[in-house]
């Protein structure tokens, strides 16, 4: 079987830099690695092909011979696998890949506890003006008896698993890799006499209670970060706590950003004759003047009666939508009066109901067009 060109396998040009070679191989390895394709022999062959191509081209000497002799360069001169300068890059790449596939750490920064997320529910008024809340949640906390050391007497001894190196070699398919020792957590030492309270873990499960201040203007989805209030980590820094806001549904207002919206029901006589409405706001009451002949769903905007954004800026508005409500439970006298009122529209209804007249004209045009197309 004819072997493909190494440059073609990696999908790079013959002038590709070391960085381009590394990026291309990492992309292919992440896609074709046997542990990600356990039942695909074709993917394994392609992975081996890409690995051979990168091993050759990442070594300057081997690449020079390959450019000159092609695949026949495998038997030319010294420099077998593992001797070239490019193999350090290969190890780095495999370390990155194994970290992505298996979740194994490579010592990138100090170990720290897990971050936690807590959702706190607020009323709209609390979110608008800010509030301080006490919250409680289960979490790992530092053991008070051993102060997080995990030792009952402060003494340590060499880890028997990694023999003090802090690293162990793990076999993953056709490759092996180094990772932090699971027994000592990469320290190389273990406690001689584990703490009787935490069994040598350095932390215990407990309920943690905190008071958190939520600023004015927060909305659903906003988060407050409390550094160091997450889970404890023996021998490392604790994680963070993220308090996420969820604003409860309000009986009157709906919030959209900094603006508030509400619906105000009015009688058709109020809409026809005009009136003054008293509407609630977050800081009291306000008067909305409804002019005569107001139609349902008309909006009235009260400037500055919304919510001041948490990140600064002017407060939003309160937008009131009037909804004309049909009267119910009418008395006989009310029915008589309404009947007499309705009779006054006979003869020229379009003068008093312009939208109805326009709608009827559009309906007649539509119906005539349908009849014409059918004939």
Tens of pLDDT, residue by residue over 138-153, are 888 888 888 777 888 8
pLDDT tens figures, 281-312: 999 999 999 999 999 999 999 999 999 999 88
pLDDT at 234: 63
Residues 245/237, Cβ–Cβ less than 8 Å:
no
Whether 222 contacts 193, CB under 8 Å? no
What pLDDT is stored for residue 175 in this prediction? Answer: 62
pLDDT(219) > 90 = yes
Note the pLDDT tens digit of each residue in 317-362. 999 999 999 999 999 999 999 999 888 887 766 677 767 667 777 8
Q: Give 264-333 as a DSSP string.
A: EEEEHHHHHH-EEEEEEETTEEEEEEE-TTPPTT-EEEETT-S---TTSS----EEEEEEEEPP-S--HH
User: pLDDT tens digit string along 199-208?
Assistant: 887 878 888 8
Of 22-26, 99-103, 202-206, 297-301, the least confident: 99-103
The Cα–Cα gap between 93 and 23 comes to: 9
Which pLDDT score is estimated for 92? 52
CA distance 318 to 315: 10
Strand 259-267 versus strand 318-325 pairing type: parallel
The reported pLDDT for the residue numbered 299 is 96
Better-scored residue on pLDDT, 176 or 197: 197
Q: Is 71 left (phi over 0), alpha (psi -120 to 50) or beta?
A: alpha
d(CA 53, CA 67): 12
Question: What is the spatial distance between Cα 22 and Cα 93, in angstroms, rounded to a whole number?
Answer: 7
Number of H helices, E strands in the chain: 9, 15
Report pTM.
Answer: 0.57
Instruction: Give the C-alpha distances (Å, rounded to integers) separating 77 from 74, 98, 189, 319.
Output: 8, 33, 46, 82
Residue 207's φ and ψ, nearest 5 degrees, are: -90, 130
pLDDT tens track for 36-53:
777 788 888 888 898 888
Whether the per-residue pLDDT at 267 is higher than 90: the answer is yes
Segment (H or E) for 341: helix 332-343
């Amino acid at each position: 079987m004819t072997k493909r060109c190494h440059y073609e396998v990696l999908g790079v040009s013959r002038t590709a830099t070391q960085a381009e070679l590394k990026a291309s191989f990492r992309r292919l390895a992440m896609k074709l690695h046997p542990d990600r394709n356990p039942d695909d022999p074709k993917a394994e062959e392609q992975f081996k092909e890409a690995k051979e191509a990168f091993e050759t081209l990442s070594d300057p000497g081997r690449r020079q011979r390959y450019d000159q002799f092609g695949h026949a360069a495998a038997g030319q001169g010294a420099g077998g696998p593992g001797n070239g300068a490019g193999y350090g890059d290969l190890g780095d790449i495999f370390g990155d890949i194994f970290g992505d596939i298996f979740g194994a750490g490579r010592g990138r920064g100090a170990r720290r506890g897990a971050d936690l997320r807590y959702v706190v529910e607020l009323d709209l008024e609390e979110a608008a003006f800010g509030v301080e809340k006490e919250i409680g949640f289960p979490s790992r906390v530092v053991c008070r008896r051993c102060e997080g050391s995990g030792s009952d007497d402060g003494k340590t001894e060499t880890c028997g698993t990694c023999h003090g190196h802090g690293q162990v070699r793990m076999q993953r398919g056709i490759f092996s890799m180094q990772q932090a020792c699971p027994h000592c957590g990469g320290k190389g030492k273990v406690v001689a006499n584990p703490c009787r309270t935490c069994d040598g873990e350095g932390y215990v499960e407990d309920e943690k209670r905190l008071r958190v201040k939520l600023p004015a203007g927060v909305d659903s989805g906003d988060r407050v970060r409390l550094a160091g209030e997450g889970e404890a980590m023996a021998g490392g820094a604790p994680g963070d706590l993220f308090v996420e806001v969820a604003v409860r549904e309000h009986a009157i207002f709906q919030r959209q950003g900094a603006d508030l919206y509400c619906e105000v029901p009015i009688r058709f006589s109020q809409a026809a004759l005009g009136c003054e409405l008293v509407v609630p706001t977050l800081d009291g009451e306000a008067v909305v003047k409804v002019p005569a002949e107001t139609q349902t769903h008309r909006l009235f905007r009260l400037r500055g009666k919304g919510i001041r954004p948490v990140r600064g800026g002017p407060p939003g508005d309160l937008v009131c939508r009037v909804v004309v409500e049909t009267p119910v439970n009418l008395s006989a006298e009310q029915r008589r009066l309404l009947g007499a009122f309705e009779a006054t529209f006979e003869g020229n209804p379009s003068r008093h109901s312009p939208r109805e007249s326009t709608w009827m004209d559009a309906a007649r045009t539509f119906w005539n067009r349908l009849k014409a197309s059918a004939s």
